Amino acid sequence: MLSSQLSIVQIVAMAILPILFAIVVHEVSHGWVAKKLGDNTAYMLGRLTLNPFKHIDPVGTILVPLLMLVFFKFAFGWAKPVPVDWRNLRNPRRDMVLVAAAGPAANLLMAIGWGLIIHLAALLPNSLLFIKEPLIFMGAIGIFANVILMVFNLLPIPPLDGGRVAVGLLPPRFSHMLSQLEPYGLIIIVLLLMSGFFGGFLMPLIFFVISMIEVITGLPENSVLSVMAVLFQSGQ
């Protein structure tokens, strides 16, 4: 039985590592794949590191998540984008798709990894509850954060990863039309979120992906959302 008496300080302490890993590894994956495909820009700028200070964006990594935690009991953020010079890629059109897809793919793998951690933690005896409980809470946060980041970034709106994937896959005429939306991408995303799009479309998709991860990692159905519910209620 998981504790339901957690302070906001305890919740934040358990959330820091999985959320930072979700954001940082997502960005590093872009740069790592770009390097493998011929572009060393991120490597030369020292961005192929898990040191979070190299990736922190004052607004996206600190201000926005803190405000969301205070007002919505839920956090979402982003890091500084890893720079990629598409001109250095060996096959720019194809490689752009692979570089863009690397971030969401990394989030999926991390979500599965956190699921396996929950599975192993659940096997620990209750005499080790001081280790067992934090690992389960961190694992649930890790799954939730990574799936949100993956699904959100796969929206086919530039400059999101899904937008860049779509630009690389669409026929040239439609690819060019979509790429022209990039300067307005953030505005479009904000309008979609304000319209209820996130709750009406993305959340069911997020819950579906989480359920698939539960199946893959052998977790009981809805166990991740149950743990997140405990965290949410504790933070009230």
Q: Where are the alpha helices (DSSP H) in the chain?
A: 8-36, 41-44, 64-72, 92-122, 129-153, 161-169, 172-179, 185-194, 197, 203-217, 223-234
* All structural domains of the chain with their residue ranges: 8-234
Active site residues: 27
Q: Model-level pTM?
A: 0.90
* 96-139: pLDDT as tens digits: 999 999 999 999 999 999 999 999 999 999 889 889 999 999 99
Over residues 193-204, mean pLDDT: 80
Query: Where residue 235 falls among pLDDT bands split at 50, 70, 90?
Result: low
Residue 68 has pLDDT above 70, yes or no: no
* 38-49: pLDDT as tens digits: 999 999 999 999
Query: Where residue 73 falls among pLDDT bands split at 50, 70, 90?
Result: low
- Sign of the CA dihedral running 85, 90, 93, 98: negative
Distance CA 13, CA 1 (A): 21
